Structures are given as C-alpha cells and as structure tokens.
Structure 1
C-alpha cells in the first residue's frame, strides 16, 4: 500500500489527519509531519524520514504538502530527488484531496498514479457561495455512454443505509468511493417537506452524483416502476429504521441494510458511540430481520462490521433497567 506523509507548517497536518480519519476511518501507513515555530529545516527532514521508516512499503510514498515552496515542501523535495521514479509530491493540501488519496489506495498501487488522480478532486473541492462568484466554466459535452446516459436496465441498489445524519461527509466521500453510485436518494417524509434541508442535501452531493429527496411512498412507486432510471446505481439513505421497514413492506427490493448512525434523544439508550434506540426501534429491527433483512453495522467501508444482535440485546437490557 502506498504510504502517505501529510506535511505542513504548524499543526495543520495533525488536524487534517484527524479530520480524514473521522470521515474515512483510521488509516495504516499515514503520518503527519509538522514544522513547528521552534524547529528548522533539518528537524523537519528528520521527522519526515522517521515517518517514512514506519511504512510497510517504503518504495511507494506520496507526500501531501500544504504549500509549494515552503520549508515542508523543500525538505520533502530533497528526499524525493533520490526516489522520483516512484515517490510523488502534491502541494495545496485540502481535505477532499486527502480523502481521495485514501480512496485511491484501495485500487491504485503507485504514488504516481494516486498523485495524478487526486488533483482534479482537490480542485473541485474549492467552491464558493453565492455561486455567481465562481468563474464560468466551458460547457461539457454530454456523456454518450454509461448508466448516467440512460443505458437500458432497472435501478440497482448499491447501498441502503440508516443514518440520522443522512448525506454527510462519510457518505459523500468514503461510501460514494466504495460503492460508486450515480444517484443518492434520501428517503424521508419529513425531509421531503423541508425545502431548506432538501437544498442542503442536493448541494452536498459529491461531484458526478445526483442527489434526490423523496417521501417513502414515492420511493415505493419508483421501486415498482424503475425502468426510466436506465440502469442507475442508487445509494438509499433512510433517517430511521421505521422508514426502512415501510420501504421493505412496500416492495423496495434490498436484502442488506447498512446501519451508520442513529441520534440519541429523550427516552433512548445508547449501547455504543453512534447508535441509540428506543423500544420502537428495537421492535422495528426485529421485524426487518423477520423479513430476511441482514444488517451491516459500519460507519465507513474500512470498519469491521459489528454484531447487530449483540447491540440490540444490550439496548434492550438497558431499556429494561430504566423501566
């Protein structure tokens, strides 16, 4: 696996490493190297060398640096000169760049490949509101092939997830890169009635993916007559397990439900860090299981799945203690 050194002036590298781990999960062979005010170039170079020495594959190293021409860049460039046939440096570090680098390591084996691939994502991550302040782009030619161009076939469900946060960073980056949807469909009666939340969700869609918000009944209709989607790959997001059960009962055809997060509120117990349940939730998951639905409890693709039966049992025990 390609090792990644995140290099910066001050603690920027530490902070963006933490942010990347929150979104994409803990990563192996990734180190933050910082140049602090009391340190000089040699100090930074020594820390970078020590970081590289911890990597399982020191032949393939990618440096993500905050600023072209600064001391972190200059010192990594000195190291790079002896390995330029395999190592790579990309300056102008931002969070979309880092997340794309993490995702790229799943399918790319060289630092050169990843460096070339992540530049466009880093550029696309720079956006502005109001939108009219953005520079005008030349119109792009319409795609002639592929699912997005209306190729034959019905809707394919690449991920179905319960997540009270709906479309957030882990979905827009980690899961989108993992399952490659062409559509993200938020299925919620309450959100469908809320124009502000609908707009925010549509704006949060990652580049190249369309986001929609539909009520549960509308999703059931789409599932029964989905030919007009032309082979689209759908990532469905439910705010609650109750909405997911309604969809299953209505005929939305999926057999695995990913469980991401369920927010805590009054009357709920929280058996782990991200999932909270009341009795209605527990009963709903029981009904889903009885209908043959399997549960995949993971925040991000790189997490190890947790056992849903154990989580529900713990929640049930805690509710009984409160009674």
Structure 2
C-alpha cells in the first residue's frame, strides 16, 4: 500500500487529514505533519521522515504538500533524491486527498506515481463557483467544463426495448438520512462503481432545491436522480435499464420495505446513518430509531433481507441484531 504524507505550513495538513478521515474513517499508512512558526526546514523534514518510517511499505510514498517552492515542498523534494518511486504533489486540497485515498483503497497495487497523476484533475475540478458564471471562461483548446443542454441530450430509447439482460443492477441499497453526501460520494461510489445514483424519496422528489443539490453533489461521471417510490418500482420493471448499475439511497427503512413489497428486488441493505428525531433512541453513534423503524427492520429480516451495517466501506461490519436489541431495550425503557 502506498503511504501518504500531508505536509503544510501551519495546521492546514492537520485539518485536511481530519476532514478526509471523517469521510473514509481512520486510515493506516497515512500521516500529516506541519511546519510551526518557530520551526525550520530540518524540523519539517524530520517529521516527514518519522512519519514515513511508521509505514508498512516505505518503497511507495506520496507526499502531498500545500505550496510549490515552500519549505514543506523543498524538504519533501530532497527526500525524493534517494527514492525514485516516491512522488510529490503540491496545491493540496480536500478533493485531491480524497482522490488519493480512493485510488489507494480501490487499487491495492497502485503506485505513488500513478496516484500522483490521478489526483491532479480532481483537485482542479474541486474548484467551482456559485453562481456558475463566476468561473473564468475556458480558453481555446482547453476542455469545456460542462456540455450544453443541447449537446448533452441523448436519443430516447423506445419503450419496450430490451437493453442488456433487461434487468437493472442495484450495486448498493443504502439507508442514509443524509442521502448523497461525502461518505457516499468519496467512499461508496468509488467502491461500488455505479453509473447512476438514485435517491428514492417521495418527500425529496417534491423539493426542487434538494433535488438540485443532490444532482450537484454527484461525482464526475455519475448521474444522480431523485425519484418517488412508485417511480423506482417502474424503473425496476423497465427493460431499458438493463445496462444500468444503480446505487440506491433511502432515508428510512420504511421506504425500503414499501418498494420491496411492490416488487423491487433488494436482497441486502447497507445501513449507514439515521439521524435523530424526536421520540428516537440512539442505538449507536450514527443510528437513531423509533419503534416503527425497529419493527420495520425485523419485518425486512423476516422477508430474507440481509444487513450490512457500515458508514464507509473500510468500517468493520456492525451487528444488526445487537443494534436492534439495544434500540428495543431503550424504547421499552423510554415508554415506562
């Protein structure tokens, strides 16, 4: 595994590392070092060397630093002289670090040089403005940021056409009250490789602002749609989606139960996050439930649905039976 070191002036690297691990969970072979105001070049170099010696594999190391020509970069650059397999990338931002961790997670045999190449475009793509027209105009010969509506249009496939085997593929069905957010975009999507994210919610499908935010939160190359429950049932039966690999996001287990009863073939549910609501109990640090939730999970289990309890792919799988037992005990206590 490639070891990754973040280095910066001041606490920047510490903050980026903390943000990245909120998305991915704790990471092995991952370090962050900073140059304090009262320190010099030897200090930051020593921190880098100490961090690298803690890695399992010191043959492949990527150093991500804040500024080309700054002291962290200069010291990282001197380390490369005796280590041709190592690499340095400057201009550190969160999209860059997220991409580095994603590349390492999804391809264990990748090299530091390959990751260095892979992180550049996501780092640049992470710079956007709102309103979009504030972005500088593209110069001739550069890649356009987005297609126009007319160029992006595709021919409609005639109804009844069978594409592929005629059955949509659900690469993941996840319960997450936050729907499409960082842990999904940077963890589950790179791991499961969907070409489409489908948020399944009657409420969100009526909210144009939330639908727009979900579309914009999707990573490059993945389309995001929001549909009501009955639309997902139609999609699941439509043979035109035979080549589609979809990641489904639900706000709660009740909606999952409804679509399964309507004929949607979901065999495993990833239980990721359920935010606290009045009347809920905290079954663990990320799952809050009421009695209806607990009963619904039990009903899904009786129907043969399996549970995968993880926030991010790198987490150890949780014990759903123990979680439901704890929730039920807390609900019984609450109702006394």
Same fold per TM (> 0.5)? yes
- Structure 1 unaligned blocks of 5 or more: 143-149
State the match for 1:256 in structure 2.
268
Query: Does the 8 Å CA contact 2:24/2:314 hold for their aligned counterparts?
Result: yes
Secondary structure of the 1:258 match is strand
| 1:247 to 2:259 alignment | yes
State the match for 1:110 in structure 2.
111
Secondary structure of the 1:252 match is coil
Structure 1: how far apart are the matches of 2:242 and 2:69?
48
Calculate the aligned-residue CA RMSD, in Å: 1.7
State the match for 1:40 in structure 2.
40
State the match for 1:16 in structure 2.
16
- The structural deviation recorded for 1:230 is 4.4
Task: Choose 30-39 or 151-160, whichever is displaced more.
Answer: 151-160
Q: Normalising to structure 1: TM-score of the pair?
A: 0.94
State the match for 1:146 in structure 2.
none
Moved over 6 A (4+): 139-142
State the match for 1:282 in structure 2.
294
Secondary structure of the 2:31 match is strand
State the match for 1:161 in structure 2.
174
State the match for 2:73 in structure 1.
73
Structure 1: how far apart are the matches of 2:284 and 2:179?
19
Secondary structure of the 1:320 match is helix
- The structural deviation recorded for 1:133 is 2.1
Structure 2: how far apart are the matches of 1:152 and 1:23?
34
Query: What is the aligned length?
Result: 315
Query: Does the 8 Å CA contact 2:62/2:86 hold for their aligned counterparts?
Result: yes
1:58-207 equivalences in 2 (<5 Å):
58-83=58-83, 85-106=84-105, 107=107, 108-134=109-135, 135-136=137-138, 137-138=143-144, 152-153=164-165, 154-207=167-220
- The structural deviation recorded for 1:82 is 1.3
- The structural deviation recorded for 1:151 is 6.4
- Structure 2 unaligned blocks of 5 or more: 153-161
Q: Normalising to structure 2: TM-score of the pair?
A: 0.91
| 1:212 to 2:213 alignment | no
Match of 1:309 among 300, 321, 325: 321
State the match for 1:57 in structure 2.
57
| 1:266 to 2:281 alignment | no
Secondary structure of the 1:28 match is coil
